[in-house]
């Protein structure tokens, strides 16, 4: 039950990140900002699709799981870092200028979510026709007390390739929430 609450909170954070002001219509923040916004929308939709499959709100579909996991893999890590170049931060974008002051932290978080997304996509590539127990988080896996700054004790010790798919999704959502809490601003 705790896991579902974390997913719900993370999905709300992701959904909140997709509420852009009218001034950010395609092109007004420049093509890089528009592409970044599209990328974030795609990631949010992919994460929501996977979460709904695991929560039983959407019928599980192995091909849909693979496709959504591939979106997360393609949009995180180096691809995400490339979407936040100098000169595209701050208003009218929702990306805070603090990204440049904490560039190493931002890039580390982007690479971490990329590693998790890689592991999830690998698991999705081999996904069975239905959700199995080994894909589930299980009662024994701690969420590791994700903080708003992305510091989760003992998560770095775990090997993503050995984690269940559902747990990987939860960790991806925690990273998204952590990044948004630190590096995303509300735009008017």
CA quadruple 132, 136, 139, 145: dihedral, nearest 10: 170
Domain boundaries, the chain: 2-183
Question: Does CATH number 1.20.120.10 belong to domain 2-183?
Answer: yes
**What is the pTM for the complete model shown?**
0.79
Comparing C-alpha atoms, which of 127, 123, 115, 125 is closest to residue 159? 115
Q: How far apart are CA 182 and CA 85, in angstroms?
A: 17
CA 155 to chain centre: 16
Q: How far apart are CA 89 and CA 187, in angstroms?
A: 12
Within 8 A by CB and 6+ apart from 122, the residues are: 161
Which tokens go with 182?
A: 């630190």
From first to last of its 188 residues, what are the pLDDT tens digits of the chain?
A: 445 544 444 444 454 444 333 333 334 578 999 999 999 999 999 999 999 999 999 999 999 999 999 999 999 999 999 999 988 999 889 999 999 999 999 999 999 999 999 999 999 999 999 999 999 987 555 554 444 444 444 544 479 999 999 999 999 999 999 999 999 998 87
């Amino acid at each position: 039950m705790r896991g579902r609450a974390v997913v719900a909170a993370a999905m709300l954070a992701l959904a909140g990140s997709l509420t852009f002001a009218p001034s950010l219509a395609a092109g007004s923040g420049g093509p890089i900002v528009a592409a970044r916004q599209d990328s974030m929308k795609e990631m949010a939709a992919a994460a929501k699709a996977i979460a709904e499959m695991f929560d039983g709100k959407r019928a599980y579909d192995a091909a849909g799981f693979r496709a959504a996991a591939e979106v997360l893999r393609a949009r995180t890590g180096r691809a995400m870092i490339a979407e936040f170049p100098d000169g595209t931060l701050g208003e009218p974008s929702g990306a805070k200028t603090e990204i440049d002051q904490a560039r190493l932290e931002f890039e580390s978080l982007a690479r971490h979510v990329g590693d998790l997304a890689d592991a999830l996509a690998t698991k999705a590539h081999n996904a069975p026709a239905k959700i199995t127990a080994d894909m589930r988080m299980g009662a024994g896996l701690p969420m590791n007390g994700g903080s708003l700054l992305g510091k989760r004790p003992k998560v770095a010790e775990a090997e993503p390739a050995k984690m269940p798919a559902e747990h990987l999704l939860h960790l991806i959502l925690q990273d998204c929430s952590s990044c948004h809490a630190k590096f995303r601003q509300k735009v008017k």
